[in-house]
Homo-oligomer: A and B are copies of this chain.
Amino acid sequence: MPLSSVATHADEQEIPYYQSVGNECALFDQAFQQRLPMLLKGPTGCGKTRFVSHMAARLGKPLFTVSCHDDLTAADLTGRYLLQGGETRWVDGPLTRAVREGGICYLDEVVEARKDVTVVLHPLTDDRRLLPLERTGELLEAPDDFMLVVSYNPGYQHILKSLKPSTRQRFVAMSFDFPPPAVERDIVARESGLEPDRCAALVNLAASLRAMKGQDLEEGVSTRLLVYCATLIGAGMPILEAARATLVEPLSDDADVQEGLMEAIQATFG
């Protein structure tokens, strides 16, 4: 079966590991049952995508993920006619597939997309739950098991890139943050294969690095980078070298900031 964008089906995979830290699973469940669209907010690499994968698998629904960007248009979501061998063939976009087949369509960093996506989001997010396909002349009604999920990072929105209130107010919303230490330790250990104790030290380190955010750091270190660091350490790389490559260099190009980060690392591991 051809797949557009990144689509995964529940029956083909195990449920991705996700450690809940609040009511997020219950809220997602309720939004799904009540057919309400959902907005996830939170910093880079804190687990939003993983959470959605987890919920999709738990609910036994296929997941269609789209990384939004400056040039993403409504047609990228709904589909287009493609020329092939002299014939034009309609190819559904990921949103259309989710509406046709049921499932969860996840638009990651939706504020990056072009403005014409609102034309497809609005009728899908009011009580009509409709997806009009102008090109094919179809008007699809979303099935009960269709759910739209969007996300963005409030940390670096700016004026030109934000959701209009008329769009935002169509979603049930929740904020994500990095998981609490014990949970993050388990996640890092599970993903990297490093022993939990050594991961705990990395998680402690992450807390002090994240505290440096806002001055010269645009974003705190993500859980993903902790996993990278633990992976390299587990593969035998010296701790300071692994930390530089995964917790310092990806965060900043500024020599002073890098030095500050390395000092914090050496204070922990030096």
- Segment at the B interface, from A54-62, A116-124, A203-211, A261-269: A116-124
Does chain B have a CB within 8 A of A20? Answer: no
Report the contact-size class of chain A (Cβ under 8 Å from the partner).
Answer: 35 or more
Tell me if A93 and B3 are in contact (CB < 8 A). Answer: no
How many chain copies?
A: 6
Task: Chain B residues near A157: list those with CB within 8 A.
Answer: 253
Task: Known A109-B166, A137-B4; judge A23-B123 contact (CB<8 A).
Answer: no
Tell me if A34 and B132 are in contact (CB < 8 A). Answer: no
Task: Known A84-B81, A109-B166, A115-B70; judge A250-B30 contact (CB<8 A).
Answer: no
Tell me if B253 and A44 are in contact (CB < 8 A). Answer: no
Tell me if B30 and A168 are in contact (CB < 8 A). Answer: no
Of the residues B65, B83, B164, B174, contact of A245 by C-beta under 8 Å: B174
Does chain B have a CB within 8 A of A184? Answer: no
Of the residues B27, B33, B119, B170, contact of A241 by C-beta under 8 Å: B27
Tell me if B137 and A26 are in contact (CB < 8 A). Answer: no
Of the residues B26, B126, B138, contact of A3 by C-beta under 8 Å: B138
Tell me if B228 and A172 are in contact (CB < 8 A). Answer: yes
- Chain B residue with Cβ nearest A37: B228
Q: Which of A131-187 contact B (CB under 8 A)?
A: 132, 134-139, 153-157, 164-166, 168-175
Does chain B have a CB within 8 A of A212? Answer: no
Q: A195-238, CB under 8 A of B: which get 1 and which 0?
A: 00000000000000000000000110110110010011001010
Tell me if A116 and B69 are in contact (CB < 8 A). Answer: yes
- Chain B residue with Cβ nearest A8: B128
Bound Cα distance A93, B137 (Å): 10
Task: Chain B residues near A36: list those with CB within 8 A.
Answer: 228, 231-232
Task: Known A93-B134, A114-B70, A134-B76; judge A237-B45 contact (CB<8 A).
Answer: no
A-B pairs, 8 with minimum CB distance: A2-B137, A173-B249, A154-B253, A70-B115, A165-B219, A3-B139, A44-B166, A71-B116
24 A-B residue pairings within 8 Å (CB atoms): A2-B136, A4-B137, A6-B128, A7-B132, A7-B139, A31-B232, A33-B235, A34-B231, A36-B228, A39-B249, A44-B165, A70-B116, A71-B115, A76-B134, A81-B82, A81-B84, A86-B86, A86-B88, A154-B253, A166-B219, A172-B245, A172-B246, A174-B244, A175-B249
